[in-house]
């Protein structure tokens, strides 16, 4: 499997295609507003963007793509920002819009501020303290691992 991926990466480099163009990964999302799903959504976005290093090199392209993966309340939050970016020149845009589109990290910070848990570590500790195995051991271990990762 690893050799196959290496071969695909070599082929992609030879013909100047991104790995994502060959593998055709499923796009992340849709993301609505759930604080519990936000980190997973952001991780999926980063993994997806990494497979398209040429096509998604610029932060603004990554942010536009992320906006296309939003629905519901999350889209209602982001759509005015995206519209401002698309319809106005840089000097005429709101400062928030330029900040979000100048760096993908700043986009992540903004969406976490809007939809993330205020104190992730405290919330994770609370949920770990109350965590009980109700299903399979693998379900319990996966949930514990997810919560524990928020303590770091």
User: How do residues 93-137 score in pLDDT, each as one tens digit?
Assistant: 999 999 999 999 999 999 999 998 766 667 667 667 777 888 888
Q: Which domain holds residue 103?
A: 35-116
* Same domain assignment for residues 81 and 126: no
Number of domains in the chain: 2
152 and 79 assigned to the same domain: no
pLDDT at 16: 75
> What's the confidence (pLDDT) of residue 152?
65
In a domain, 123, yes or no: yes
d(CA 105, CA 61): 13
Question: According to the 3-state scheme, what is the secondary structure of 26-85?
Answer: CCCCCECCCHHHHHHHHHHHHHHHHCCCCCCCCHHHHHHHHHHCECHHHHHHHHHHHHHH
């Amino acid at each position: 499997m690893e050799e196959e991926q290496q071969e695909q990466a070599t082929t992609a480099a030879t013909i100047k295609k991104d790995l994502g163009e060959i593998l055709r990964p499923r796009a992340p999302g849709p993301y609505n507003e759930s604080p519990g799903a936000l980190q997973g959504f952001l991780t999926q976005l980063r993994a997806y963007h990494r497979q398209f290093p040429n096509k998604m090199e610029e932060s603004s392209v990554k942010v536009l793509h992320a906006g296309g993966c939003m629905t519901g309340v999350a889209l209602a939050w982001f759509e005015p920002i995206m519209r401002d970016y698309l319809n106005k020149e840089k000097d005429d845009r709101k400062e928030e819009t330029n900040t979000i589109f100048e760096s993908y990290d700043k986009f992540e910070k903004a969406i976490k501020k809007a939809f993330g848990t205020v104190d992730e570590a405290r919330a994770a500790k609370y949920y770990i303290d109350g965590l009980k195995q109700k299903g399979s051991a693998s379900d319990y271990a996966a949930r514990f691992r997810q919560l524990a990762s928020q303590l770091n």
